[in-house]
A and B are shown apart, each in its own frame.
Chain A
Amino acid sequence: MTSTTRLLEGLGRIYVGLLLAFLYLPIVIMALMSFNASPFYQLPFEWTTKWYSDLASNAQLLAATWNSIEIAIIATVLSTLLGTAASIALFRYDFRGKRFLQALLLPPIAIPWLITGTAMLIFFFGVGIGRGLHAILLGHVALALPYVIVVVSARLQTFAPELEEAARSLGASQWQVTMRITLPWIMPGVIAGALFAFAVSFDQFVVSYFLSTPGQATLPVEIYAAIRKGFMPEINAVSTIIIVVSMGLMLVTARFFKFGGEK
């Protein structure tokens, strides 16, 4: 390796370190502030776990947290099931209008959530679906579906159709082929798709915001309301817990499925 190359690579590593510092600065600050006594985030730092005990008695915030978790889990399951089925159909069959159906997946991803969210608000209100947790779930599944289909389809691209044909020639039914050959192969894609779906739903603020009603809100909506009112330090506490848990889950998953590492 030449000396110039080594110098540039060293600078590159430092640069990536700085970027990571930038990315994690607010997260670390938030975690620290959740243990800081001053409710106005004043320094010097004074250790307390008051906000965590306050959180335990904040029924509204806890309810919103559970709403978020429940909706995210249900939306993940539904969008993964529907999305995987659709991906397999798009992969296995060729028919007129297929390209159009694939193109239809683009709008939910490409249109700003502000527009999608307000459109859902108008339509759900107009046809009597109304607002509330059921409306939020309806929206979240639709938002997550295209992501699942795109991710699972990408995985299906690596699947050799001859495997299905070989299994059929060995006497397996279409259903057996799907369950025993196709699904196991695309499972990493399905799980990646499910992770995306969970992230889209759990972190979703805009669409939830327009579809929520007082008392029927998700955590991001409650946090936004609290911030606009002047913030409660308990939000640092609940956010810290959520970030630690979700990052932990991601790390565990990543240990099983290598993302982005060596091919």
Chain B
Amino acid sequence: MATGGASRRGIGPALPLLAPAYLWLTVAIFLPLSAMAFFSFMTELPMSGKDWSFTLENYAAFFSGALYPTLLWASLRLGLEVTFWCLLIGFPAAYVLAKVLKGRVREAIFLLVILPFWSNGLVRIFSWAMVLREGGILDTALNAVLPFKVNIDLMYSYPAVIIGLVHSYVPYVVLTCYLTLQAIDDSLIEAARSLGASRLQTLRRLILPLAMPGLIAGGVLIFVPVVGSFMEPRILGGRTGTFYGTVIEDQFVAVFNWPLGAALSFILLAVVLVILAVAAPVLRRAQ
């Protein structure tokens, strides 16, 4: 970050401006995360009134059977699949937006793409339920058009969860890729073509590498929340919608085994951090 020409000195003069924000973050984010780390090693919550002691049992529970690792793997796979589809669907749209459309049309379309961010995600997920279920909009519409009877009942299935999540997260990819693609000078693309590169070669060897920061940023922005998602699988997945996130939710709102929930959360956090740590150097190199 650029500095206002100031020389390196103590934090003193910056403190009054910084302190409120960072105190708030400490109370609402950093202390809670530390507390959760602490509680994940306890048998019971201290404030529950019951006797408690330190234990590794909560973490051992994760490895005791196939259940939790399987669910974690299912969540990671869900994250990867949703990220893959979002990148595949979002990148071409970002390219058209950045390199084909111009002026007011581009501005309007860009706005339309990011506008759903300002509508309620939960409701958008639920409206997919109206679309996808048997006797729902898609079913009725297709049967009204097609001469033969089809049965569309995607509701409470894995594809329904994927569709809902992709719908929720694809604008992130469009946004991040649009920003990096817009920064690529058109003459670079023309230069590659003038040197004999076909459209495909230009895409693969020039545009994709230059757009990599946007693709990775978009991917991270999608993967991380999807791995921890529980609302979308619950609404669209029904009984097939049991994922790692829904199990953690249960520990806190149904089973009330908070220490186990904390341990499961921390394992998820560790996995996410490892993935971010792998992505970070790629991002930095790409810049």
Contacts and interface: CB of A to CB of B under 8 A. Distances in A.
Contacts of A251: 111, 115
A187 interface: no
A247 B124 CA distance: 14
B220 to A, nearest CB: 7
A103 to B, nearest CB: 11
Nearest to B102: A262
A68 B136 CA distance: 30
Interface string A71-107: 0000000000011011011111111111001101001
Given A102-B1, A108-B29, A119 B36 contact: yes
A20 B109 contact: yes
A160 B121 CA distance: 39
A156 to B, nearest CB: 8
Interface in B134-186: 135-137, 140, 167, 170-171, 174, 178-179, 182
A171 interface: no
A133 interface: no
B248 A118 contact: yes
A124 to B, nearest CB: 7
Contacts of B122: 205, 220, 223-224, 227
Contacts of B261: 118
B22 A26 contact: no
A228 B2 contact: no
Contact of A210 (B9, B15, B127, B252): B252
A261 B107 contact: yes
- Interface size range on A against B: 35 or more
Contacts of B112: 20, 23-24
Interface residues of B, number: 104
Contacts of B249: 114
B254 to A, nearest CB: 11
Nearest to A89: B17
Interface string A96-130: 11100110100110111111101111111110000
Nearest to A33: B130
Given A41-B130, A122-B258, A164 B225 contact: no
A247 B111 CA distance: 10
Contact of B28 (A138, A153, A199, A236): A138
B79 to A, nearest CB: 10
A142 B29 contact: yes
B126 to A, nearest CB: 6
B117 interface: yes
B209 interface: no
A102 B1 CA distance: 10
B18 A124 contact: no
A179 interface: no
Given A13-B100, A203-B120, A220-B122, A121 B252 contact: yes
Contacts of B269: 111-112, 115
B163 to A, nearest CB: 9
A16 B97 contact: yes
Nearest to A116: B29
Contact of A125 (B31, B47, B123): B47
Interface string B1-25: 1111111111111110110111011
B27 interface: yes
Nearest to B171: A23
A246 B32 CA distance: 32
B268 A112 contact: yes
A123 B32 contact: yes
Nearest to B27: A138
Contact of A122 (B35, B106, B136, B170): B35
B96 A93 contact: no
A203 B136 CA distance: 26
B119 A247 contact: yes
B127 A26 contact: yes
B128 interface: yes
Contacts of B41: none
Interface string B192-223: 00000001000000000000000000001000
B86 to A, nearest CB: 11
Nearest to A78: B24
Interface stretch (B49-57, B59-67, B87-95): B87-95
Contacts of B258: 122
B3 A94 contact: yes
B111 A145 contact: no
Contact of A112 (B12, B27, B170, B272): B272
Given A26-B127, A260-B110, A250 B115 contact: yes
A247 B115 contact: yes
Contacts of B253: 210
Given A224-B231, A263-B182, 17 more contacts: A13-B101, A19-B170, A20-B112, A22-B167, A26-B127, A30-B130, A41-B136, A114-B230, A119-B32, A122-B39, A157-B1, A157-B2, A162-B5, A243-B123, A260-B107, A260-B179, A261-B103
5 contacts: A9-B96, A24-B112, A94-B7, A96-B8, A262-B106
